[in-house]
Chain A
Amino acid sequence: MKALRNFFEKTKPYVGKGGKYHWLHSTHDAFFTFLFVPKTTSGSGTHIHDYIDMKRTMSIVVLALVPALLFGIYNAGYQHFGALGQLASASFTDRFVFGLLKVMPIILVSYAVGLGIEFIFAQFRGHEVNEGFLVTGMLIPLVMPVTTPLWMIAVSTAFSVIFCKEVFGGTGMNVWNPALVARAFLFFAYPAQISGDAVWISAEGVEKMADGFTGATPMAKAAMGDTGFDLWNAFIGLIPGSIGETSKIAILIGALILVITGIGSWRIMLSMVLGGLFMGILLNLSGSDNIYLALPFWQHLLIGGFLFGAVFMATDPVSAAQTTKGKWIYGFLTGVLAILIRVVNPAYPEGTMMAILLMNTFAPLIDYWVVQGNITRRLKRAGVKA
Chain B
Amino acid sequence: MSKHFKLKRGLDIRLKGAAEPLLKDAPAPRTIALKPTDFFGLTPKLSVKADTRVKAGDALFFDKYHPEIIFTSPVSGTVNAINRGERRKILEVVVEPDREQEFRTFTAADPLTLTREEIKKQILASGLWPFVKQRPYGILARPEDTPGHIFISGFDSSPLAPDYEFIFKDDREALQQGINALSKLTDGSVYVGLSPAQKNGIFASLNNVVINTFEGPHPAGNVGVQIHHVSPVFKGDVVWTVSPQGVVYMGRLFREGRLNLSKIIALTGPEVKKPHYYKTIQGAELTDLLSNTTKKENHERVISGNVLTGTKTDPDDHLGFFDQMVTVIPEGDDYELLGWALPGNDKFSASNTFLSRLFPKKEYVLNANLHGGERAFVMTGQYEKFLPMDILPVYLLKAVITNDIDRMEQLGIYEVVEEDLALCEYADTSKIKVQQILREGIHAMIKEVG
Contact = CB atoms under 8 A, between A and B. Distances in A.
Contacts of A45: 418, 422, 425, 433-436
Nearest to B390: A378
Given A1-B337, A46-B307, A371-B392, A53 B431 contact: yes
A156 B353 CA distance: 32
B368 A42 contact: yes
B232 A385 contact: yes
A128 B370 CA distance: 15
B338 A52 contact: no
Nearest to B347: A51
A47 B308 contact: yes
A48 B340 contact: no
Nearest to B312: A47
A168 to B, nearest CB: 11
A59 B410 CA distance: 37
A51 B370 contact: no
A41 B369 CA distance: 4
B412 A378 contact: yes
Contacts of A323: 380, 392
A375 B379 contact: no
Interface stretch (B92-100, B204-212, B327-335): B327-335
A173 B401 CA distance: 15
B433 A51 contact: no
Contacts of B366: 48
Interface of B: 13, 15, 159, 231-232, 234-235, 301, 303, 307-310, 312, 327, 329, 331-341, 344, 347-354, 366-381, 384, 390-392, 394-395, 410-412, 418, 422, 425-431, 433-436
Contact of B331 (A41, A52, A263): A41
A290 interface: no
A328 to B, nearest CB: 12
Contacts of A382: 232, 234-235
Nearest to B377: A172
A252 B274 CA distance: 49
A37 B338 CA distance: 6
A386 to B, nearest CB: 8
B393 to A, nearest CB: 11
Given A36-B339, A37-B338, A48-B13, 4 more contacts: A50-B349, A52-B350, A56-B353, A128-B374
Given A40-B369, A57-B429, A324-B384, A48 B329 contact: yes
A53 B340 contact: yes
Contact of A50 (B234, B335, B337, B427): B427
A228 interface: no
A56 B340 contact: yes
The B contact surface, by secondary structure, is loop
B75 to A, nearest CB: 29
Given A172-B378, A317-B379, A51 B348 contact: yes
Contacts of B354: 51-52
A287 interface: no
Interface in A259-275: 260-263, 265
A19 to B, nearest CB: 20
22 contacts: A5-B335, A5-B337, A37-B336, A37-B338, A39-B334, A41-B333, A42-B370, A45-B433, A46-B425, A46-B426, A47-B307, A48-B426, A49-B369, A51-B339, A52-B353, A52-B354, A55-B372, A263-B353, A317-B381, A371-B392, A381-B390, A382-B232
A172 B353 contact: no
A318 interface: yes
Contacts of B384: 324
Interface residues of A, number: 57
Given A47-B310, A50-B349, A170 B376 contact: yes
Contacts, number: 207
A130 interface: yes
Contacts of A379: 234, 410
Contacts of A260: 352
Given A35-B338, A57-B379, A262 B434 contact: no
Given A47-B312, A322-B380, A37 B422 contact: no
B136 to A, nearest CB: 13
A54 B429 contact: yes
Contacts of A132: 378
A49 B15 CA distance: 12
Nearest to A41: B368
A37 B379 contact: no
Contacts of B380: 265, 317, 320, 322-323
Nearest to A40: B370
B429 A53 contact: yes
Contacts of B379: 57, 263, 317
Nearest to B330: A41
Q: Which of B301, B338, B376 has the most CB of A within 10 A?
A: B376
Nearest to B334: A39
A171 B392 contact: no
